[in-house]
Amino acid sequence: MINGYEVVVGLEVHAELSTATKIYCGCKNSFGLEVNTQVCPICLGMPGTLPKLNERVVDYAIKMGHALNCGINRICKQDRKNYFYPDLPKSYQISQADIPLCHDGYLDIILENGTKRIGIERIHIEEDAGKLLHSDRFDGSLVDFNRCGVPLIEIVSRPDLRSSEEARIYLETIRSILRYIDISDCKMQEGSIRCDVNVSVHKPGEPFGTRCEMKNINSFSAAVRGIDYEAKRQIALIESGGRVVQETRRWDDAKGESVSMRQKEDAQDYRYFPEPDLLTIVVSEDRVKELKDSLPELPNHKILRYIKDCGLSRKDAEVIVDVPEKAELFDGCLELGCKASRLAANWIIGDISRLMNEGRQISELGITPERLKKLVEYIQDGRISNASGKIVFDELVSSSGSQNSPDIDAIIEEKSLLQVSDQAALEELAARVLAENEKSVFDYKNGKTNALGYLVGQCMKASGGKANPGAVKEIVLKRLGEL
């Protein structure tokens, strides 16, 4: 809520699909190749050419439809959306108008205080346009047609989002799902995901306000900034007696403001009509089911499971789920019945994430689910200290890849890291340390309680770090009490 107004946001996400070839021709679907080399008469829109639908595009879109709990239109068509722009050689884009491949689904996003269900109106397939190139080195614009015909899905949400923060979480969840079901590489910097943002404001209880659309926002943080700016602009306009007009605005992220582009066009302006050069899409019931069964556990479900079953915080669960490799390691531990899952999560979030940030992959770290399970269970049992666990971990990592990488028990044995929990040995150790540190004992008896920490520290030092700190503290306290 801003000044008593509620912000209403709907999002249209365009995601490029990572198929090997384009949607209607055999040209390579690949980013960053030399301009105008991945083109043919079909994707250049030459008269007389015929497009042929890449079946894989339909499969990918249906997978996303299942992931977002949509109904699937097994029989649907493709339509021409007519408009003129220099990057669109045919002067129309093949898209889907009234019958999208997927319809009426939802996505549960995970907020601080629980989940929120966001309606999904539709998911349809379409082709991407080319790209205009501008440079100081030449006047005017040049066009790169390599992107013409790259397959896209457009995911249209219902206006169920109520803040820029909810929009950000929604976008991150969508991206994470696209990655998990492996249909898009989601590289924002390459424009693999872009979104159009619809924003309106109203007072709760009153009808929705007039919405403005900002097109082609290519980062999630820019979407957040655009929504916040647009909401404030509309509220200021209404408060000063003005009226919001339906229009398309351009978000200028560098300047941090949106500027009017054009009054919003209606669907009829695009003169949609069925694409006569393509066959009706017909997908068998078996295929739809097969695609559903092929889906892995989705990241948003995984996060909820980690929170519920392992007691992780939402943030910690997200750090693990965000990288499928981390989630695979953690799930591996859980499947082996790890009794210290909280600790295993900490190691993944801490040391393992740190190494991955340095560019290493889990597969080359020598950390398997079996090893991580053993390591954290040994630490939890008190068999080795946390500090010794770190030594074992570093040893595993540094010897990974070598012919005979040692196992955890061998490392503990070789470096004599077993934690001393033996009561008699610890009693003896404590007696010796107290006798050698009379001043600290005196201080403690005279109320300087922080001397306790020093004495425990001395015991740990005397044991070479192998004493069980909890047991040591108990014994030192008991002895101090007896003095």
Binding site for Zn ion (CB under 5 A): 25, 27, 40, 42-43
- Closer residue to Zn ion, CB minimum distance, 43 or 396: 43
CB of 149 to Zn ion, least distance (A): 6
Q: Please report which helix (H) or strand (E) contains residue 151, including its range.
A: strand 151-157
Please give the full DSSP string across 155-184, using - where no structure is assigned.
Answer: EEE-S-B-SHHHHHHHHHHHHHHHHHTTS-
CB of 241 to Zn ion, least distance (A): 53
CA 166, CA 9: separation in Å to the nearest integer? 9
Instruction: Retrieve residue 139's tokens.
Output: 């006047």
Please give the full DSSP string across 3-61, using - where no structure is assigned.
Answer: TTBEEEEEEEEEEE---SB-SSSSSB--TTPPTT-S--TTTTT-TT------HHHHHHH
CB of 24 to Zn ion, least distance (A): 7
CB of 181 to Zn ion, least distance (A): 26
Amino acid at site 309: D
Please give the full DSSP string across 263-276, using - where no structure is assigned.
Answer: EPPPGGGG--EE-T
CA 16, CA 19: separation in Å to the nearest integer? 9
- Closer residue to Zn ion, CB minimum distance, 29 or 468: 29
CB of 275 to Zn ion, least distance (A): 17
Contact 363, 330 (CB under 8 A): no
CB of 362 to Zn ion, least distance (A): 38
- Closer residue to Zn ion, CB minimum distance, 47 or 205: 47
CA 127, CA 149: separation in Å to the nearest integer? 5
- Closer residue to Zn ion, CB minimum distance, 45 or 332: 45
- Closer residue to Zn ion, CB minimum distance, 149 or 369: 149
- Closer residue to Zn ion, CB minimum distance, 37 or 363: 37
CB of 44 to Zn ion, least distance (A): 7
CB of 62 to Zn ion, least distance (A): 24
- Closer residue to Zn ion, CB minimum distance, 78 or 200: 78
**The Cα angle at residue 125 between residues 122 and 130, in degrees rounded to 5:** 130
CA dist list (Å): 91 to 48, 100, 271, 404: 14, 21, 12, 63
User: Burial code of 221-259, b = ≥16 C-beta within 10 A, e = fewer?
Assistant: ebbbbbbbbbbebbbeebeeeeebeebbbebebeeeebe
- Closer residue to Zn ion, CB minimum distance, 52 or 117: 52
- Closer residue to Zn ion, CB minimum distance, 40 or 288: 40
Contact 275, 76 (CB under 8 A): no
Instruction: Retrieve residue 461's tokens.
Output: 């030092």
- Closer residue to Zn ion, CB minimum distance, 36 or 346: 36
Contact 82, 94 (CB under 8 A): no
CB of 50 to Zn ion, least distance (A): 12
The residue behind tokens 């007009």 is 245
Contact 238, 46 (CB under 8 A): no
- Closer residue to Zn ion, CB minimum distance, 54 or 184: 54
Torsion angle in degrees (nearest 10) through CA of 128, 134, 139, 145: -30
Q: Tell me whether residue 89 is exposed, middle or buried, using C-beta atoms within 10 angstroms of its C-beta: 0 to 12, 13 to 18, 19 or more.
A: middle
- Closer residue to Zn ion, CB minimum distance, 52 or 315: 52
CB of 33 to Zn ion, least distance (A): 13
Contact 127, 94 (CB under 8 A): yes
CB of 22 to Zn ion, least distance (A): 6
Distance of CA 324 to the CA centre of its chain: 10
CB of 16 to Zn ion, least distance (A): 15
